Amino acid sequence: MRWNNRARPLGCLLGVFIPQVFILMVCLRTPAEPQITTVPSPPATTSGAPESQTPVPPPAAPTPVILIDAAHGGTESGAVLGPDTLEKDVTLAFARRLRQDLMSRGLQVRLLRDSDTLLSTEQRAVIANVSRPSLYLCIHATSQGSGVRIYAAMLSGGSADRGPFVAWQTAQASSLSRSRSLQQQLTAAVQKTRFPVRSLLAPLQPLNSITAPAIAIEIAPASGEVSQLATADYQQMVSAVLANAIGGIRSRLETGQ
């Protein structure tokens, strides 16, 4: 009986303390250090680019577009250069030859007139302004003088732009300084070949109405014989001279300088 009486308080004591010990043990064991899985860190990168990653080259400059306009056409024959030689035919044949020579030098070339078609100066200017070429070349032929004349526009000072509208007769004003710069560069390049060349300003149409860099090239016979203008050999020689000169300023056409 005594044993039981004494055991009873002991049992209560155990009943009280055992849960506490259990809780205490749980509390002590719960915050035990967790098992951490170590993820290996990536190898340290060097300042240089990975070997598998190739550098991206800068975008290439756009290829300049040359718009060649053979003057006259259709019922507008231009100058009569000989019994069977009309200016409209000489300019078209030369424009086609110049296109081929420029394309062989990696330039994009378009002909504004590629057939015996009549176009007004206003229509030519509209086509040029819509096309937005890097350079507009108007081709003429003459029996006067010798070699090649390169023209840039000469604008009158009477017309002024009003608001968002550009005066048609002086639309070239925004590109005039660039046109004259290209004119001088081409003239200098042709002079190096010792081919006769002159640089002039004139109030020509459609140059005055074109919003892109624009010049006119007038071809004359080198020997004084007007029949030379219609010969393939002479046209090929002049075309090669001009194509080399234009190809020499390609970087300026690409950068807009």
- pTM value is 0.75
Q: Residue 217: beta bridge partners?
A: 139, 150
189, part of any domain? yes
242, part of any domain? yes
41, part of any domain? no
Give percent of the chain above pLDDT 70. Answer: 74
Average pLDDT over residues 144-170: 80
6, part of any domain? no
Count structural domains, the chain: 1
172, part of any domain? yes
For the domain that residue 185 is a member of, what is the CATH number? 3.40.630.40
12, part of any domain? no
In the numeric block, the tokens 């029949």 are attached to 227
35, part of any domain? no
Domain range for 151 is 65-255
Q: CB-based contacts of 116: which residues, under 8 Å, 6+ apart?
A: 73, 74, 88, 89, 92
When pLDDT is cut at 50, 70 and 90, the band that residue 80 belongs to is very high
**Average predicted confidence (pLDDT) for the chain:** 82
Average pLDDT over residues 147-151: 97
40, part of any domain? no
